[in-house]
Amino acid sequence: MARGWMRCGVLCLGVVMVLAAAVCTPALAAGEMGQNKFKVGDVAPDFTVTDLAGKQVKLSAFAGQQKVVLLNFWGLRCGACLEEIPYLEEIHKKFAGKGLVVLGVDTDGVDSQTVIDTMKEMNVTVTYAILTDPDFKVTDTYTNFLVPLTIVIDRKGVIQYIHTGFEKGREKEYEDAVKKVLGS
| Cβ count near 34 (within 10 Å) | 22
Residues 13 and 38 placed together within one structural domain of the fold = no
Residues 20 and 80 placed together within one structural domain of the fold = no
- For 138-158, how does the pLDDT look when each residue is reduced to its tens digit (9 = 90+)? 999 999 888 999 999 999 999
Distance CA 51, CA 72 (A): 14
Domains of the chain: total: 2
Residues 55 and 134 placed together within one structural domain of the fold = yes
How does the average pLDDT of the chain come out, rounded? Answer: 84
Write down the pLDDT at residue 18. Answer: 34
Q: Which domain holds residue 114?
A: 34-182
CATH number of the domain residue 169 falls in: 3.40.30.10
Residue 55 confidence (pLDDT) above 80: yes
Residue 27 confidence (pLDDT) above 80: no
Residues 142 and 174 placed together within one structural domain of the fold = yes
Closest CA to 163 of 88, 97, 62: 88
Confidence of residue 33 (pLDDT cuts 50, 70, 90): very low
CB distance 45 to 141 below 8 Å: yes
- pLDDT, mean of residues 46-72: 95
